[in-house]
Structure 1
Amino acid sequence: MSDKPSVLFVCVHNAGRSQMAAAFLHHLSGGAVEVRSAGSAPAESVNPSAVQAMAEEGIDITAETPKVLTTEAVKESDVVITMGCGDTCPIFPGKRYEDWELEDPAGKGVESVRPIRDDIKRRVLGLLGELGVTPVSA
């Protein structure tokens, strides 16, 4: 078991919002946070507009693949952040849950994904502060 805080990001397809959030948290924490992401109904691949938007931030998510949400992933996480998955996310007592209301980037071009990306980055920086982790870069 790790002393690192662990965070799970969950959205429906695990192809946009949760992938961007996980990438930002991993990048900005410098590995000080254990990061997971998953979806209740994973897509076949990560949203190309999300990949492009993150590349503009210097973060490469081309190798990421959408993963299915498991009970184990929730149990192993200290913080579970949902992004529009509604009632499909399992709830366990003693876990910290947050729901980030974010527009779904599915089917949108990179111009429309950039503001979503920027909102996610702002929220991740706030989360790092709450976890007591100093960002390595912003």
Structure 2
Amino acid sequence: MASRGRGSACNGSAVLGAAVAVQLLMVGFLVMSAAPLAAAAAARYTVGDSGGWRFYAEGWAKGKTFRAGDVLEFKYNAAVHDVAAVDLASYRSCVAPKGVRKMRSGHDKVTLHKGAHYFICTEPGHCKAGMKLAVRAI
């Protein structure tokens, strides 16, 4: 009878171990399947839509809801424009602070974090002509 009891305990351990393994597999599956959902939730926006980053772009964001993780794509002619992320004062004055990093590829991507974001073209007169953008990500 003692051997029978050990066999039952051993079988019980095997069943318990299998149950734990199944639970771990289920948790792993849920974690793996949630990762693409989080990535898929981020939206990609082309600033200015088909016209791209251009004069009078400042109204483009009106009516859009941006979220942290969304990506703004600035498409423009790099020979005549650029993009600089600036603070509110620089956005309002259209004067980029000394040493500001200018993006000049013609196809720049910016991932938004929660909060306000301000962008301007630093070429003389372009920002004043409305080549600037303010967005808030929630």
- The two structures share one fold, judged by TM-score above 0.5: no
Instruction: Kindly name which structure, 1 or 2, has the bigger radius of gyration based on alpha carbons.
Output: 2
Relative to the length of structure 2, the TM-score reads 0.31
The structure richer in strand per residue is: 2
> Larger relative contact order (C-alpha < 8 A, sep ≥ 6)?
1
Relative to the length of structure 1, the TM-score reads 0.31
